[in-house]
Structure 1
Amino acid sequence: MSCPIIRPVFDNVRNDDNESSMIDGLSISTTTENGTNNYHKTVDEPLNYTKYLKTDILLSALKCLSHTDRSDDTSPPVHDEHFFILIHQVFELWFKQILFEIDSIRYIFSNNDNVAPFLFDINLRLNRTANIWNMLIDQLHLLESMTPMEFLEFRDFITPASGFQSFQFRLIEMKLGLTDQHRSAYKANHFTQTMFKD
């Protein structure tokens, strides 16, 4: 069902060419497809939610690689791959925020002889980071809704990709002080040899 408020406006859409349209004198840019396969028009007007958050770019980043019928590349993806990708993309977004908070604290310490005036901000940012970690740990429980057999339905489509290769997670480890002597080797290799292997 279309929105009863906006429908009368879009009933007045006039297509002058394939690149843009006009609504009551307002220029409408090219129609784009967002990540939920819905089409929307971006109006050349003040900032809105979609433009500010770039939801079209964000939502279109989720691309499944699997196929329910392995002999048919046009078959739909395995259902749980969508969920699996989304969980990990959300992790990466939160890792970005954690790095942002850590970097801001490190900046305060490296650029101020007296950090006392900044202790309130430092405390807030550290607490925020800790709360994000707690939320991410809770989020791992969501993966338990996917059985090992359901995971195996698409696992070979994404091999050799692994959460072990998360660059942001490794940055967080290093910025929080994890040194090589305290890092466990994976199959007797330094983590960079495993992460950046072609």
Structure 2
Amino acid sequence: MAEGSPSHRMTYGGYLRLDELLELQDGPEGYAPAPCNDEQHFVITHQAFELWFKMILRELKEAHQLINQDHVEEKSLPRLVHHLDRVTEIFRLLANQWKVMETLAPQDFLAFRDKLGTSSGFESWQMRELEVLLGLENEQRMGGMDPLLHMRKLASEGKVSDKVLANFEATSNAPSLNDALGAWLARTPVNGSLPGQDGDEEAVAAFVEGHLDVMKRHGEEVIAHIVAIGHGSEEQVRPR
């Protein structure tokens, strides 16, 4: 039958694969009894977190690809900012999503907690990859835990797929987004001076001093304005 005919027409549900998606809230295969209302709420909330983690990882990897180059085109910067802006909005959404989770009372969670066994949200490999991509060092983790070693252990036990491990290793072996941004900033000219050039340290120091002077003048202007409109004396306003 020709494409575009009724049997081939794209639908909302078909495009989003809703039949498959909406079958994923009943727990693993053979899970019994079926999740109660509160447990399904718990599952859906965490699945939503994981879907947004997937989007955040993609946006940050796009940003990483743009900035992790020897020469970053000026025209790439608006795209970089666009990716980071989207990530910022997703994180705002995720923070608010906890309001939904807070509707699950502790006693209602305890009603099905035993079914979760030893599983924990800390086992989210997307969250761990996100931490690595952003530049969280092992020394900054509680107990100095190495997430890559942990992922390899889970893979050896069949708890994560080879694809998950390969993605995690690739992210771990590449410069973090923090490192890539730092390297880009380090080689960005300051008042026309490049790192390593004669007089570069003096040029950077002069730039910083000028910036601090501007900020100081701005602060003085704000204080003068507040005093002028009668919102307190200079002695009262300055400590603010």
Task: Report the TM-score when normalising by structure 2.
Answer: 0.56
CA shift at 1:115, angstroms?
Answer: 2.9
Which of 51, 56, 64 lines up with 2:19 in the alignment?
A: 56
The DSSP-based 3-state class of the residue aligned with 2:22 is helix
Are 2:107 and 1:144 aligned?
no
2:73 to 106, 115, 124: 115
Name the aligned partner's letter for residue 114 of structure 1. V
Work out which of the residue numbers 36, 43, 59 in structure 2 matches 1:85: 43
Structure 2 CA distance for aligned equivalents of residues 190 and 106 of structure 1: 22
User: Partner of 2:9 in structure 1?
Assistant: 46
Question: What is the alpha-carbon distance in structure 1 between the residues aligned to residue 17 and residue 73 of structure 2?
Answer: 36
What is the distance in 2 between the residues matched to 1:114 and 1:189? 34
- Structure 1 residue 189: Cα displacement: 5.3
**4+ residue runs of structure 1 moved beyond 6 angstroms?**
none
- Residue in 2 that maps onto 1:38: none
Superposition deviation, residue 158 in structure 1: 1.1
Do the aligned residues in 2 keep the contact of 1:78 with 1:153 (CA within 8 Å)?
no
Task: Using the TM superposition, give the Cα deviation of residue 90 of structure 1 relative to its aligned residue in structure 2, in angstroms.
Answer: 0.3
Kindly indicate which of the two structures has a greater share of residues assigned to strand: 1
* Alpha carbons 1:91, 1:136 under 8 Å: kept: yes
**CA distances 1:140-167 after superposition (whole Å, capped 9, x unpaired):** 1211111111000000001111111000
CA RMSD of aligned residues (A): 2.5
For the 8 Å contact 2:56–2:87, the answer to whether it is kept is yes
1:177 alignment counterpart: 135
Q: Which of the numbers 106, 117, 125 marks the counterpart of 1:167?
A: 125
Q: Distance in 1 between matches of 2:35 and 2:16?
A: 27
Identity among equivalent positions (%) equals 30
> CA 1:109/1:85 → structure 2, altered by over 3 Å: closer, same or farther?
same
CA distance in structure 2 between the aligned counterparts of 1:99 and 1:76, rounded to whole angstroms: 32
Q: Give the number of the structure whose alpha-carbon radius of gyration is greater.
A: 2
In the alignment, is the contact (CA less than 8 A) between 1:96 and 1:168 conserved in 2? Answer: yes
Q: Classify the secondary structure of the residue corresponding to 1:47.
A: coil
The AA in structure 2 aligned to 1:133 is F
1:129 to 71, 82, 87: 87
Instruction: Call closer, same or farther: CA 1:109–1:51 in 2, change over 3 Å.
Output: same
1:106 corresponds to which residue? 64
The 1:94/1:103 distance shift into structure 2, 3 A limit, reads same
Q: Tell me if the contact between 1:62 and 1:86 (Cα under 8 Å) persists in the aligned partners.
A: yes
Shift of 1:175: 0.3
* Structure 1 residue 53: Cα displacement: 1.0
2:54 to 96, 105, 114: 96
Give, in whole Å, the separation in 2 of the partners of 1:63 and 1:44.
Answer: 30
Structure with the higher fraction of residues in helix conformation: 2
Structure-2 separation of matches of 1:102 and 1:163? 21
Distance 1:87 1:52 in 2: 22
